[in-house]
Structure 1
């Protein structure tokens, strides 16, 4: 079995959404003083490779702990959007190139190639985003989730989070951001999981996103 990790490592100097504090790893117990090591981790729920539920945008929206565990595992397909430039849109032409897998998948994962900029200022630039027709297609489907190798579903300049609101206003679905290594997943359907922490009233959580191939 081949396993591909689609997750960025969480560390103190990692990229975070502009205005958000970076994670802090604070010593709790040490080998010398206590005979074991334990660390106090402080970070925001939307750090690194993470998941948004409807409660991220809506006070009465579904929280992560309200989803069954089955929401976070299924079949996925990568939508190849790597030919797009800054500020260009992901269209149904990219989705249709996946063939029947686009409708058979539980998760649509959009590969813009933007993860190559992880750790640089370019990562927070004008990354490609889905257009309205693609969002309509997602809303009309029966997907468990969608995912991206960029920092947001909306353009970095859209402080209103228009696409997030449209997505979560109509569907009990999850949105995964800051994926990586989607190039390694090839074409067609594959097994995928993206389990979040079961945080009470969770508005988001880092995930360990993984693809595997038997």
Structure 2
């Protein structure tokens, strides 16, 4: 049985949210407890981009595909964590070139973001030319340990380059202590219909040498 590594951010009231916007804070409301009823029940209000989440093309492209148009198999399968903790600012194609990225890979970008407490406005992000490098390499997906994959891009070029090449996006990962190597990724988003994003529980399965789960159907 492979070791399971949870790389998801916990969701709670007061958690780090993008740009510290109050409207992005989740809230939990107890609607029934054992003083008012026979069961304990909670109502949750939160943004679709809360914590660890996936983006759909509609997020940045008018008329773009919504979440359910992305095959579930895009979020499952082999992946590779690459160590970019020495990078400041934007991750460029030159930063990615030494890692021999191959077509079909799902690449997880481990940066100094994983060690940050709270939201850092100067978080490390994927620059447009880094996105183009990954897209042209033919990756199937890219994830990052920041609440956004881009920063200070009025035209949202990083998102658009990836979406236009069919590359799926996973944001808000927690990669502290995760070694740079290959894993099996499970990052199934909530089955929301018609949305531009959804929270996901992202897990890495650390396979032993020679151990295999097979390819997704």
* TM-score of the superposed pair, with normalisation by structure 1: 0.86
Deviation, 1:174, is 1.9
Q: After superposition, where does 1:38-187 map in structure 2 within 5 Å?
A: 38-85=41-88, 87=89, 89-99=90-100, 102-103=101-102, 106-119=105-118, 123-155=119-151, 157-168=152-163, 170-181=164-175, 183-184=177-178, 186-187=179-180
From 23, 28, 46, the equivalent of 1:25 is 28
Figure out how many residues of one structure are paired with residues of the other and give that number. 204
Alignment match, 2:215 = none
Post-superposition offset of 1:160: 3.5
Q: Which runs of 5+ in 1 are unaligned?
A: none
Unaligned runs of 5+ residues in structure 2 are: 208-217
Q: Which has the higher helix share?
A: 1
Compute the displacement of 1:104 (Å).
Answer: 5.3
For 2:180 and 2:50, how far apart are their aligned partners in 1?
Answer: 28
CA distance in 2, matches of 1:182, 1:103: 24
Aligned partners of 1:126 and 1:46: how far apart in 2? 19
Query: RMSD of aligned C-alpha atoms?
Result: 1.9
Distance 2:176 2:67 in 1: 24
